[in-house]
Structure 1
């Protein structure tokens, strides 16, 4: 069945009543075929197969008094119609009282039916039966949105001359009769909104939305019994002409009618658990596509309803993982449909980039990205294979060139050129104003990073296109990194992480932190009450037993018998807890001999029966520290970091973890071949291990104790030795740590990607912080005063004392003041705020206090430098400094 789809057809139908003379000249040939005796007989013979109810519309006629049924395509072809025999009074009625009915059959063929006012409704349906072949019992005649009773006369039903009626009947060889029936009722209700009285308007308008929900609820029932029929069931809505009818109502001059249409169309745009669950909603893509096409041809592409439908279609295609629910269309037809949306949206992006502020609606960017993804899937279906489009298909000089592919490629090139111009404008601003001043201009370029992400999706479709994008990023790496450093959280930015030669540390840090949950002040916090004397054990219970989702909302910590709470206490807890976890006495981790801040799992950790649970716990703690942006002063060894990213370990990677083994292996590999073949080393493919004072031997391969190491197999021996020493022996520990870390990520599947996206140096900076000497001059520059002035003697004494402190004393004082022992890599500038020294009102004999949450040091007005120095010296004893912060 056909339905209104183009602007011209739709406009012609809306003017149907005013232009009847034009309608009488249409479709007579189809009617002559349909009304032939053989067609009617065929329809009657197959009546048992008829099972759906298409709408047959009866529209107003002009004043013609012809007594024949007429097809309006060819007036010369007339076919006499049998008069009704069921009306006893029909012979007494004069021709001047004949009523005229214009009947549209199957949305294509039209006929004229005549009847007298005192004829019954059944007699009229009997006339139609001779044309349609549909039994009288299976037809209904509708007038003004209500069904006419068969025994009633037309006069009793208040049917006037030139009235518009509707006929519904069964159509042979179609399915889903209940769906057709609801669609018929829906269109009847829509049509009646122009004719019903004011007292029935509200009920009729409510009925429109109710019928759509009934249709969708019926679809859900079909899904439960026969999932393969869902698409055909939903197709009834389009074939019936319901989308066209709703758009016609949307164009109504009556505001309430437009509102009814708006709300009715909106039902298809969002899932609803009551009548349109997600698994049914994704299959509504053809209906939403139909709305888009009709709306674009009538109200235009700037109309809000069209934009909503376009966005819904883009979202449905993304949710469905491609255009698979548009399967009634052929692959190339699907591509051409998507190309229209892609071209429209790309031009909107290009227009936005050409403006001074380069602002583009987020809806446009999201829609374009989704349509491009769908286009990519559709093209792969068309090609019958995955991968980009071959270069010759978009080379206009090649004999296999495809026009639509060439058009799509031109859109990509135009977008790439405009992006380059936009990035150059950002770069020029940076060069002229400097990085810090340019931060105030970020609101002018809010969408540039999102546009780059769209270009990346575009580039995946063409051979060599990603190389072009990569080259652009390299040339414009300065503005790209500036924008990425300040980019807002988005899942669509992860692709930048694969370009390590483009991104700098600050950009990568911002991007990988997007893989962690973003906790907010209004989130429900996971509360902990910790006894400092049982710090590790109690923290383990609180964190290890918690549901991962409970930890995503953030943490609230309080130490027992202490009043302090807030972020400062939390930072202190992270630092103290990590010191305890990585303390070699707890046998979980071993420090590297040449760098005591760098750790890897202890192969002998199994001496603690809970060691694997503690590794899961440690993974959670490290991820939480990253999530809360706390530097804990811990660094990972290369062998540990590589395995977290799923990478292999080589000889060069063990240099820091075990310098002695590294040197020994290097000597074996560099040794003279004759010497090693002489078995001077006495080595076989075994490894000796000390465990709890006992010594045991492990074969590195089957029958390893019988295989002598020689010049031919020494590389294999070294590799097996390294794999067992640093991979096999700690594989369980690494796995449990990785699982604990993954628990905290927004998507646990990204745990390897997290570590693959960073260099070890990046991770050191993020979790360990800076181990550089604290710059007192910078410290002083980032400190402000309350109750004191910078030139007060107490302040001058304070900074003089700090300058005289050792590096460790400064770190302890900083920790006491802020709960930050290791500064971010960018120093004091990387802290959340300035530091403050407040004039304390306590006794001059009191020790300084701090409010670590606010980076506030409360300093009494000491009378002498020596008095201040004594109290600060006491503070900088590590066992005293912990626990003095208030909140």
Structure 2
């Protein structure tokens, strides 16, 4: 072992990838290799060779790798020299041209005692691989080789050994040696993946530095390149083995490693993408698979931490992916989207749109991190940025091209929407593309305004896209700021996508048995301590001493309990003087010691009513609505809630300044309120009762007066209502998004329902028959009788039939299903019955219109129609 020395760790320098020839012959050049180094600093010749050596991989130029393959004979015997690791000693060895490099290593071990695994042979600046023959390595008579050692300081000797074996097995497969190699490739790859997993400690924490080093070794020995060459190999079974191995590496990385760790595998997947795009095509399934997974790896990586500009990267194998690395994928995918939009069916693939979004996100973050970025990129600066100038300009042009094509497709779409019935013309990806284009537009000065101007021109199709394709869980926040471009249907759909999805599985239902005579108290008891997750799962409702159960009973309960909650006699809410349908929290609700708990209960009930899409016959005052949306309140917002205060404040603001300054109003920054029968003076700020209102401070006075009257005085009540609402919708963010996506009138339609009189023709058009035909006398009589009824009788009939007191804004067509009239076999002496859950009314074949009118008049009396028929 005297010729074998200890090694020191060289300073790492930047690694460079050579461009590859068109015949796919690859040689990996490395300016330094941290795992192979000559330790003799005095040997300048050695240092020169080792410091700029090439590593010969099994995948080499065909004319080079296949040279000298003639049958071995005595004339093939050659002499060559092996310069030792230290001390200047040289071994003289003999061999045949078809001897493998491994055999030479064994001879060196026999002479020196240095283990094979510790040896590295360098010839002409290249490391020799074990499976290569001397002829394949172009070693001729009197050739001089250098023996170097693997660093003793490395922590990953086993990784090098496994990867060496993996590459050698791939090399043999590329030469056509299939037997046993496929199994070897799979086993060694599994062994390497297992080593990656071992970087996790018992606490579930990963050693990211060690993992990164292992991945660097994986790249340094060009495994991605070797696997791609195997994928392109003509030999049977090679393509399948390579594809399976590449997929296995990616799948295992994502399953074995947590997301913040497996993103380090991005460099390997990036290599797969680069090599496949050159060797195969961009439509190759394996390339698309690799590209998609690379997108998911870099999507959540913050530029400035893991993604940097190429000029600041010292080594791409250190886990750093540059902006320049991933931007070509943005351009590539943008072109594919453009082709899809320009095709006859106008339908880009969902995977292309998803990948486009994934690669675009870190690019946007990188641009926002630029020192010149002040909220957007100024157009004159686009050519003078410190970094990413080319990318920023290209991205701008990509936006213009894609936006133009999307809008043209949407113009065509509007023409198709006019025709009935509406069909899906391959529009399912338009909304997702628009979302990404909007994110690009926000980067550039004035481009977002241009974006929304273009959308305004195709707002009909934009609304349809929202209603048809906006899905729960997707990011739709980008639309909210421009909800004025939408109509009620699209705003309502957008708002509902922020609410949790109902789960109607029976075993998850929250069961309630309510006594009608104690409706509010019993309902509160069932809700007070109920788990919010269980409430979201669904409700099973039953009234005491009544047989009916199911959705129809639940709809009635929602209506009745909301009528009780907002009943002014219960002191929780106050009706607006100018609109008795509207309510806002009662500042004097504290007369009930449980009032705050009831406000939380009210928030839960309203959230659930919205989720169940039940019209409960009440609406909120604007001031209350604005607070729920997290917005401030202005003078115009209190017009309905307190018309007297509104009028007084308007008068103060409109009064001549000189008159106000004469103190004719006698106002100070205080107000009188009635509390439990007593008059109390409340200051609007400290010592406010001594500050006179004048022309200079009157606007502040009005603002503070409104704030105290409609915010401060009911802050506890609103807070509890909000807490209850958020229990159901899962947090303040969702609650604010829900209300911000709506206009007050939209919420009116969702909570109260239609204000229009019921149209008998609409009712008839949305009714189907079972046992009867539309031409039967009984059906003809029925609709004539309904047409003769008063509005009140029609409402009671609707309630008896469906348990609904109010129709949706769209009328009967907005119901969850058609209504049904069933022919029953009951005696003609019996009244009609209903199955409210299924919107079904049943009656026998009454012999005359008079008899039918008598029966229907009985069930349209409110005290009869308020309860249910059979289930």
TM-score range, shorter chain: 0.7 to 0.9
1:423 is the counterpart of 2:410: yes
How do 1:54-93 and structure 2 match up within 5 A? 62=68, 66-68=78-80, 82-83=90-91
Equivalent residue for 1:204, pick from 175, 181, 184: 184
1:583 is the counterpart of 2:591: no
Asked if the contact 1:393/1:406 (under 8 Å) is kept, the reply is no
Asked if the contact 1:209/1:260 (under 8 Å) is kept, the reply is no
1:598 is the counterpart of 2:582: yes
How do 1:2-13 and structure 2 match up within 5 A? 8=21, 11-13=24-26
1:567 is the counterpart of 2:551: yes
Which blocks of at least 5 consecutive residues in structure 1 are unaligned?
Answer: 14-22, 72-79, 85-89, 104-112, 135-139, 146-158
- Shift in Å at residue 486 of structure 1? 1.9
Asked if the contact 1:786/1:838 (under 8 Å) is kept, the reply is yes
Question: For the residues of structure 2 that align with 1:271 and 1:98, how far apart are their CA atoms?
Answer: 41
Equivalent residue for 1:276, pick from 257, 268, 285: 257
Equivalent residue for 2:511, pick from 528, 532, 536: 528
341-350 or 585-594, larger mean C-alpha shift: 585-594
Asked if the contact 2:500/2:729 (under 8 Å) is kept, the reply is yes
Which blocks of at least 5 consecutive residues in structure 2 are unaligned?
Answer: 1-13, 60-64, 70-75, 140-145, 314-320
Taking structure 1 as reference, are residues 479 and 307 closer, same or farther at Cα in structure 2, changes over 3 Å only? same
Task: List per-residue Cα deviations over 1:847-874 (Å, max 9, x = no partner).
Answer: 2111122211112333444443343333
Task: List per-residue Cα deviations over 1:68-114 (Å, max 9, x = no partner).
Answer: 3599xxxxxxxx99335xxxxx8xxxx685764569xxxxxxxxx96
Corresponding position of 1:153: none
Question: For the residues of structure 2 that align with 1:293 and 1:710, how far apart are their CA atoms?
Answer: 73
Corresponding position of 2:367: 379
- Shift in Å at residue 686 of structure 1? 2.2
Asked if the contact 2:81/2:90 (under 8 Å) is kept, the reply is no
1:732 is the counterpart of 2:712: no
Question: For the residues of structure 1 that align with 2:543 and 2:433, how far apart are their CA atoms?
Answer: 48
Question: In structure 1, the residue corresponding to 2:24 is in which secondary structure?
Answer: helix
Asked if the contact 2:347/2:429 (under 8 Å) is kept, the reply is yes
Task: List per-residue Cα deviations over 1:553-581 (Å, max 9, x = no partner).
Answer: 44343444444333323322222221122
Q: May I ask how many residue pairs the two structures share in their alignment? A: 815
- Shift in Å at residue 709 of structure 1? 3.3
1:622 is the counterpart of 2:602: no
Question: For the residues of structure 1 that align with 2:129 and 2:546, how far apart are their CA atoms?
Answer: 80
Question: For the residues of structure 2 that align with 1:746 and 1:706, how far apart are their CA atoms?
Answer: 46
1:342 is the counterpart of 2:330: yes
Equivalent residue for 2:224, pick from 243, 246, 250: 243
Corresponding position of 1:17: none
Question: In structure 2, the residue corresponding to 1:319 is in which secondary structure?
Answer: coil
Corresponding position of 1:409: 396
Task: List per-residue Cα deviations over 1:241-299 (Å, max 9, x = no partner).
Answer: 22223323333456655444334323454577873122311232222212211221212
Question: For the residues of structure 2 that align with 1:29 and 1:713, how far apart are their CA atoms?
Answer: 75
Question: For the residues of structure 2 that align with 1:841 and 1:286, how far apart are their CA atoms?
Answer: 74
278-287 or 548-557, larger mean C-alpha shift: 548-557
Corresponding position of 2:343: 355
- Shift in Å at residue 415 of structure 1? 0.8
Question: For the residues of structure 2 that align with 1:872 and 1:171, how far apart are their CA atoms?
Answer: 97
Task: List per-residue Cα deviations over 1:413-448 (Å, max 9, x = no partner).
Answer: 1111111211121123245x3xx43x12x2432222
Equivalent residue for 1:517, pick from 480, 494, 500: 500
350-359 or 194-203, larger mean C-alpha shift: 194-203
How do 1:421-460 and structure 2 match up within 5 A? 421-431=408-418, 433=419, 436-437=420-421, 439-440=422-423, 442-460=424-442
62-71 or 310-319, larger mean C-alpha shift: 62-71
Asked if the contact 2:266/2:298 (under 8 Å) is kept, the reply is yes
1:504 is the counterpart of 2:487: yes
Question: For the residues of structure 2 that align with 1:114 and 1:716, how far apart are their CA atoms?
Answer: 93
CA RMSD of aligned residues (A): 4.3
Asked if the contact 1:817/1:885 (under 8 Å) is kept, the reply is no
Question: For the residues of structure 1 that align with 2:576 and 2:286, how far apart are their CA atoms?
Answer: 64
Taking structure 1 as reference, are residues 611 and 230 closer, same or farther at Cα in structure 2, changes over 3 Å only? farther
Question: For the residues of structure 2 that align with 1:337 and 1:270, how far apart are their CA atoms?
Answer: 22
Asked if the contact 2:600/2:723 (under 8 Å) is kept, the reply is yes
Question: In structure 2, the residue corresponding to 1:243 is in which secondary structure?
Answer: helix
Taking structure 1 as reference, are residues 199 and 177 closer, same or farther at Cα in structure 2, changes over 3 Å only? closer
Question: In structure 1, the residue corresponding to 2:769 is in which secondary structure?
Answer: strand
Question: For the residues of structure 2 that align with 1:324 and 1:523, how far apart are their CA atoms?
Answer: 48
Q: TM-score, normalised by structure 1?
A: 0.81
Taking structure 1 as reference, are residues 644 and 43 closer, same or farther at Cα in structure 2, changes over 3 Å only? farther
Question: In structure 1, the residue corresponding to 2:842 is in which secondary structure?
Answer: strand
- Shift in Å at residue 599 of structure 1? 0.9
Question: In structure 2, the residue corresponding to 1:83 is in which secondary structure?
Answer: strand
Asked if the contact 1:847/1:871 (under 8 Å) is kept, the reply is yes
